[in-house]
Structure 1
Amino acid sequence: MTDRTRMNLPPILMYHSISPSTVPDPHRLRVHPERLERHLRLLRRLGLRGVSLGELLLAEARGAARGLVGLTFDDGYTDFLEHAVPVLQRHGMTGTVYVVAGRLGGENEWDDGPRFQLMAADQVRAVAAAGQEVGSHTLSHARLAGADPATLTAEISDSRRVLEDVLQTEVRSFCYPYGSYDQAAADAVRAAGYDHACVTGDYDPGDRFTLPRCYVSPRDGRPHIVARMARHHLRLRSRAGA
């Protein structure tokens, strides 16, 4: 299988902030921890287990991905460590948190909405020590489609070096902010040494460096999660028959 072969993976769910906060959430980024708890209980009742994207791909390579669902969390908010990690651990599950490497300990300055605190270096290390995967979400949460080569190098390669310095281990997973990418960006991720990368809802090309995910909204209940996973499988079947 080459890097550009279309992949037929189980659903990958896409979360952002996991928090009980009641401050305004105009970009629909915040899922309450109790709602995440209900989602993971649902997966267990369906005989499924949530895993990090790295673990999902390793299982796929062994032919053992059946019964798994990818769990990803964008931006690296402090509430991932405070609220998401305990829920994941209670259910024996793992996830991938995508960290904006140039904003460690800062805030989501790229948004025009409320400010959310981002994990500092010691918190990122604590997440990894808790068995969760840490991936890169660029240096500054930049849109990569149409970016010049220097920007791609800084946002993709330099962010990996920052996180590897923090963690003292290899960082293999990448996520395009806003789902914004083009072939040059995907090629730059591959050249930077990542093992895989994910987008948002795009199913084309759907290769190892453009893996599609299912967005989870703050209001999604159990029926919505089931519907999103079913739609994912339908999209894959439709794509295979195209």
Structure 2
Amino acid sequence: MTQTVSRRAWEDTARPFPYVLMYHSVAVHTRDPYLVTVDPRRFEQQLRWLRRNGLRGVSMRELMLARRDGDGRGLVGLTFDDGYADFAHNVLPALRRHGCTATVFVIAGRLGGHNEWDADGPRKQLMSADEVRWCAEAGMEIGSHGLLHRKLSLVDDAELLAEVAESRVLLREVSGQDVDGFCYPYGDVDPRVVNLVAAAGYDYGCAIWRSEVSGRHALPRTYVGDHDGPLRLLAKRMRHRFTQQR
């Protein structure tokens, strides 16, 4: 498989990257060794902060369409990795209260399972097929997080194709909507992986803040955790603005 990142994978890099926040789980917790969980009360505060500052959280699909039309001002991408069941039960109601939408990246081969990849963390329930469908019907975007939550740079070409392409087919069937976005487990991305995601027909891909490659199919995101109150959110917003000055 070619190691050259396709033109499509790199398009849009001449423009500032959109501001995209990366969440995982929103739930009451007592132990969180991987720092992936935000308390529901803190999440409400973070959504209120966005709205008070003239910002609205939206799905990646809505954000990318707005950018295409030249009107993405005031929009912030909200993304949730892993497809935890608390997205359906805690995140969705809060988003509705604040007039927001979001993208949840679901692990297609683990529907109804648990976060088995987090060896030292508390077990968290993943959304079932019915919960994924429910979120899609409520206006949330369903994206792919692969089949099994694996480091994609380490798998062979056949396994990579299944993680990227097969997961998309499965989630289309479950959600009843097009699956336009892919999110790289662990933020693990290299040119071979990005190239295949673009070739598989995904409109965009989400990486993490600092990745080996970046572009439309490896968009950087800003991590948000339970310690992020107003001042930290402001600092992260300003950091994004500063790094986008070209």
- TM-score tier after normalising by the smaller chain length: over 0.9
Q: Does 1:202 align with 2:226?
A: no
* Among 212, 215, 226, the residue aligned to 2:220: 212
* Among 170, 179, 183, the residue aligned to 2:178: 170
Equivalences for residues 97-176 of structure 1 within 5 A: 97-112=104-119, 113-176=121-184
> Which consecutive unaligned segments of at least 5 residues does structure 2 have?
1-6
Give 1:181's aligned residue: 189
* Among 57, 68, 89, the residue aligned to 2:64: 57
Displacement of 1:204 in angstroms is 6.1
Give 2:10's aligned residue: 4
For 1:65 and 1:155, the matched residues in 2 are separated by 31
* Among 229, 233, 238, the residue aligned to 2:241: 233
1:122-174 residue CA offsets vs partner (Å, 9 max, x unmatched):
00000111111110000000111243211110111111111011122211011
* Among 73, 83, 86, the residue aligned to 1:79: 86
* SS of residue paired to 2:76: strand
TM-score, normalising length: structure 2: 0.93
For 2:69 and 2:36, the matched residues in 1 are separated by 34
**Conserved? CA contact 2:187–2:211, under 8 Å:** no
Alpha carbons of 1:69 and 1:88: their partners in 2 closer, same or farther (altered >3 Å)? Answer: same
Residue type of the alignment partner of 1:4? W
Displacement of 1:3 in angstroms is 3.8
8-17 or 63-72, which moves further after superposition? 8-17
Give 1:222's aligned residue: 230
1:205-239 residue CA offsets vs partner (Å, 9 max, x unmatched):
431101000001221111111111110111111xx
Q: Does 1:14 align with 2:22?
A: yes
For 1:97 and 1:10, the matched residues in 2 are separated by 17
Report sequence identity in percent. Answer: 49
For 2:18 and 2:235, the matched residues in 1 are separated by 14
Give 2:32's aligned residue: 25
* SS of residue paired to 1:47: coil
Displacement of 1:2 in angstroms is 4.6
RMSD: 1.4
For 2:117 and 2:154, the matched residues in 1 are separated by 18
1:2-27 residue CA offsets vs partner (Å, 9 max, x unmatched):
541314233100000001233x1100
**Conserved? CA contact 1:9–1:60, under 8 Å:** no
**Conserved? CA contact 1:146–1:182, under 8 Å:** no
TM-score, normalising length: structure 1: 0.94
For 2:56 and 2:177, the matched residues in 1 are separated by 25
* Number of equivalences: 237
For 1:130 and 1:27, the matched residues in 2 are separated by 29
